Each structure stands twice: as structure tokens, then as C-alpha cells.
Amino acid sequence: MNADQTPSGLQAVALHERPRLLRFLVARGAGEDAEDLFQELWQRVARTAAEPVADPVSYLFRCAENLMRDVRRSAVSRERRQFEWHEAGDNDAEYPLGERVLIARERLQQVDAALEALGPRVAQVFRAYRIEGRSQALIAREHGVSLSSIEKDLQKAYRALAQLKAKFLAE
Amino acid sequence: MDTARLWVLRVNEADFSGWDAFTQWLEEDPGHLALYEAALAEDAFARDIAAAMPAVLPFTPRKPSVWRYAVPGAMAASLTGVVLWFGVLSGAGITEITTGPGEMRDITLADGTQIALNGNSRITYDADEPRMVTLAAGEALFEVEHDDANPFVVMVGQTRLVDAGTIFNVTSDGGAIEVGVAEGAVIYYAAGAEITLNPGDRLTRPSADAPAQVQRADTAAMGSWRDGLLQYDNAPLSDVARDLSRALGKPVRAVGGAQQMRYTGTLSATGSQQAVLEAASALLGVRLTETSDHWEMTPANAPSP
């Protein structure tokens, strides 16, 4: 089903899917602001250039997801950011630049070691995904494995990173 | 938590269409949203980390003959390591590498270009412009992966150095710049000037406004700082002072007539600061006095200040 390409076409789809989108926004944490956020979504869609959209419903949900992430990001930056992964602590004055540079370098080496310890493919897959920005589907094809294998590799990598981050925070 | 991670991985794929299933999972349990947000934060952390790691390329060891100057075996071995990037991140995608006094760092870029950074130096790199590096201060030796279609550029202030298949050394000191070419060619672009530099050429420009001059220099001596050796051929002591700053970490100023003195020979810049100072004083015929923010280099046979 090839939907209309004009912004008003997208808006028509948005109106039609409003209940589903509202439900998503609520589940995603919008709470009472769901209606307002739907309006925000509506505005964003209206501002979109008239390009062909293959799957307008998915497109709208993707917009909604991005909107929720933006909302959350603003909320977080309103609070003071507690931790820069490469900083030794909150207080910049505690450590001179040279030392912070050394600590950051050391931590990166730990990250590298942790990823390598998970096996060569995990490290490669993480790099391909996060550094080179390839999609999981593409990585799966390149390695000749299933998409779910790639998902598992990435979950392992992320788990290891979470442990390291906790360790850095505690230092 | 693993399930939340999986949802982040899936939702982030461009072709994701399981929005209803995702909504249902979120509705199943109020805790799921918190887990999802935590997994998103993990993903952001992973992005930060990834931005600081080098894009992977297996390092291809080079034939020793490429290096035009004597490189001790141990040094050559260290070049085969890929040094990790890290950023004192000033903005998305901008990475800055700084060395402390006397510290040297080898860096390999995603395209295979190698940079040797001398002490007390700083380069910045924007991941969005992978074929450009800015030398903000200090000294670096570049061995560039040549690409006619996409030349490598080193920015020094407003000056552009464009690679034409090269090994070249650059020093930057405020507005002063010095470029030496060992192999290939470098094109120097600065206000009103375009100069092609060939192997053995050394361009000097004492300040941003001064004209650039090109002289012939010994290519074997270029980059000898990597061995901790500074080589000079009738160089004014102000040049030596500048190079010593990189080893000592504080600016070294040649004053009281020392600026006019000249030196021909080799100076060792390795070892303890004390050793460097003693060697420099003896060889250059100067006295080095430390103040709070710099070193003063004065002629040894002048009366004490």
C-alpha cells in the first residue's frame, strides 16, 4: 500500500492512527502529556519535506520514538550530567589535564580488552555497528550468520560495557 | 535488562516495524520503560566510547626503507601498534589528542595515515572530515596515505598543507610554522602564497605575517626528534629553544644575546629533565634558568642577571 507522499497525506495517516500513536506515547512515558506530544508530532510531520515515505505508519512511530527521546534528553540535561566516562570524577580541578588524558586512555584500553575478551567476532561486530555505523542486517550478511546471532553479540558487548561503566563510576 | 537491550537494538534498526509489539512489552510492566531508558543510556555510552576508538583497519607494517632516518628496532616495533584515540570531547565528533612534555604518541587514522606527535603538542580531528587534521600546537610527523581524489590536509591556523603523497614534518609555534618534506610533495597554502615543497625542502615562516622561505635541508635529520635527537645545522638558538620547550614542557626563551648564537650538531632530548638541561647547557654554551612559567636561556659567558 503506497501512501500519499505529501505532508498532508502523512497527516491524514497520523489522524487515522492517532489512537495507536497515543497508546504508544503513553506506554513510552508521556503520561498526561500524551495529547500535547501528539500535537508536537503533528507539527513535526507537517514540517517534513514532501519526500516519498514507503511505510508511513512506521515512519510516524519512528517520529514518535525520536520525539520521546528528545523529551527525555532535555529532561536529563536539565539535571546536571553526573558522569563523563572519560573524567576521573565530578571535579575537574581534582585532576590536571595530563592525568585525565592518561586515565581516559587507560579506560579505553580496558574497554578494548573487555570487548576482545568476548571473542573476536563480538569485538568486530561492535565496531562495525557502533564505529562504522552499519546496520545489524548488513553485518549479519557480511559474517554469514543470522540476525539474532548479531543481536546476541551486541547484547554481550553492551553488558560488558555496562559493567565497565559501573566500575569507572565507583573509582 | 537483556530484553530491554534487545528492544533498543531492534528499534534502532532503520527498517523496524514491530511498534505494536514494542508498545505491548512496555505496557506489560511499569518497570519495562525504566529498563528501556537504561538500555538507551547504555547505547549512548557505547556511542561515546565508539567515537573515541579508532575505526578498525589492520595495520600493515611498512618496509624499513620507507623511514628515511635511523629508527631503532624498538621504535619501529611500537609503530605497529594502533594507538587508541580518546577525546577530551569538546563537541560531537571532535577528538583532541594532547601530549604532555617529553611525551610522544603514535596515531594511526582510519585511512592508514600515521601521525607521530611530539611532546607538548596537540592535534584535533573531526570524524566528519576524516582526511583533515589540525595541528593546534607543537610538532608532528605525518606519513600520509596518498589519495589523489581525496588529498589529506593538515591545518595550522589559517595555513593549509595539502599532501601530494608524503612524509612530512610540521612544527607550529603561535604563528610560526616550519614544514620539512622527506618523501613525496606537500603544497603549502597561506594568504597569497601557494608553494610546492619537494623532498629535501624546508619551509620556514617565523610569524603569521612574515613571508615563507624555502631552504634545502637534510631529509635524514627530519623527524629525528622521534629518537630523542634534535639535529641542527647552523640554527639560531631561538629554534633550539623552541624544540627544547617540547621536551621540558615550559616555553624556553633565548634572551640576552642567546637568540643570535648558532648551533650545529646534535642534541639529545631524552632522559630526565636534568640530563637534558645539562647536555643542552654544555653543548650550546648557555645557562638555563627556570622561572615560574618559563626557562631563560642566556649565554654562558655573559654576566649573571
In sequence order, the 6+-apart residues with CB closer than 8 A to the CB of A81 are: none
What mean pLDDT comes out for the span B205-218?
A: 85
Q: Which of A32, A52, A78 is the last residue of a domain?
A: A78
Q: Are residues A108 and A162 in the same domain?
A: yes
Contacts of B23 in chain A (CB under 8 A): 20, 23-24, 27-28
Domain membership of residue A86 (yes or no) is no
3-state secondary structure chain B: CHHHHHHHHHHHCCCCCCHHHHHHHHHHCHHHHHHHHHHHHHHHHHHHHHHHCCCCCCCCCCCHHHCCCCCCHHHHHHHCCCCCCCCCCCECCEEEEECCCCCCEEEECCCCCEEEECCCCEEEEECCCCCEEEEEEEEEEEECCCCCCCCCEEEECCEEEEECCCEEEEEEECCEEEEEEEECCEEEEECCEEEEECCCEEEEECCCCCCCEEEECCHHHCCHHHHCEEEEEEEEHHHHHHHHHHHHCCCEEECCCHHHCEEEEEEECCCCHHHHHHHHHHHHCEEEEECCCCEEEEECCCCCC
What mean pLDDT comes out for the span A52-56?
A: 78
Q: Are residues A59 and A102 in the same domain?
A: no
| Domain tally, chain A | 2
Domain membership of residue A161 (yes or no) is yes
DSSP class of residue A144 equals: T
What mean pLDDT comes out for the span B161-165?
A: 79
Domain membership of residue A140 (yes or no) is yes
Give me chain B's average pLDDT, please: 76
Domain membership of residue A138 (yes or no) is yes
pLDDT at B80: 23
Contacts of A131 in chain B (CB under 8 A): 50-51, 53, 55-56
Q: Are residues A56 and A18 in the same domain?
A: yes
Is the pLDDT higher at B182 or at B80?
B182
Q: What is the CATH number of the domain that holds A32?
A: 1.10.1740
What's the pLDDT band for B18 if we cut at 50, 70, 90? very high
Q: Are residues A104 and A164 in the same domain?
A: yes
pLDDT at A96: 59
Domain membership of residue A32 (yes or no) is yes
Write the pLDDT tens digit of every residue in B26-81. 999 989 999 999 999 889 888 877 766 654 333 333 333 222 222 232 322 222 22
Q: Which of B226, B203, B201, B227 lies closest to B213 in space, CA to CA?
A: B203
Confirm or reject contact between A157 and chain B (CB < 8 A).
yes
| C-alpha distances out from residue B192 to B209, B211, B213, B215, Å | 11, 10, 14, 19
Give me chain A's average pLDDT, please: 80
Q: Rounded to whole angstroms, how far apart are CA atoms B282 and B267? A: 10
Confirm or reject contact between A111 and chain B (CB < 8 A).
yes
pLDDT at B171 over 70: yes
The shortest C-alpha distance from A118 to chain B (Å) reads 16
Do B9 and A61 make contact, defined as CB atoms within 8 angstroms? no
What mean pLDDT comes out for the span A128-141?
A: 87
What cell was used for B112?
592508514
Q: Are residues A101 and A165 in the same domain?
A: yes
The shortest C-alpha distance from B216 to chain A (Å) reads 37
Q: Which of A44, A78, A112 is the last residue of a domain?
A: A78
Q: Are residues A105 and A157 in the same domain?
A: yes
pLDDT at B76: 27
Q: Rounded to whole angstroms, how far apart are CA atoms B168 and B186? A: 8
Query: Which range (A15-29, B148-162, B201-215) has the least confidence?
Result: B148-162
- Please count the other Cβ atoms lying within 10 Å of the Cβ belonging to residue B130: 15
Q: Are residues A113 and A165 in the same domain?
A: yes
What's the pLDDT band for B93 if we cut at 50, 70, 90? low
Q: Whole domain around residue A164: which residue ranges?
A: 95-170
Model confidence, pTM = 0.47
Q: Rounded to whole angstroms, how far apart are CA atoms B215 and B206? A: 14
Domain membership of residue A84 (yes or no) is no
Question: Angle between the B19-28 and B2-12 helix axes, to the nearest 10 degrees?
Answer: 160
Q: What is the CATH number of the domain that holds A112?
A: 1.10.10.10
What's the pLDDT band for B252 if we cut at 50, 70, 90? confident
Set out the domains of chain B in order of their start, with CATH numbers: 2-52 (no CATH), 64-221 (2.60.120.1440), 228-299 (3.55.50.30)
**What is the SS3 assignment for A119?**
coil
Contacts of B6 in chain A (CB under 8 A): 151, 155
What's the pLDDT band for A100 if we cut at 50, 70, 90? low
pLDDT at A36 over 90: yes
pLDDT at B206: 83
CB B53 within 8 A of CB B79: no
Domain membership of residue A27 (yes or no) is yes
Q: Which residue of B has its CA nearest to A147?
A: B10
What mean pLDDT comes out for the span A35-49?
A: 85
% of chain B at pLDDT higher than 90: 11
pLDDT at B178 over 50: yes
Q: Which of A22, A52, A78 is the last residue of a domain?
A: A78
What's the pLDDT band for A161 if we cut at 50, 70, 90? very high
| C-alpha distances out from residue A121 to A124, A130, A143, B279, Å | 5, 14, 9, 51
Is the pLDDT higher at B305 or at B194?
B194
Q: Rounded to whole angstroms, how far apart are CA atoms B283 and B266? A: 9
pLDDT at A74: 76
What mean pLDDT comes out for the span A55-82?
A: 80
% of chain A at pLDDT higher than 90: 36
Domain membership of residue A65 (yes or no) is yes
Write the pLDDT tens digit of every residue in B109-138. 877 788 888 878 888 887 777 788 888 888
Q: Rounded to whole angstroms, how far apart are CA atoms B192 and B11? A: 53
Beta strands in chain A (DSSP E): none
Contacts of B111 in chain A (CB under 8 A): none
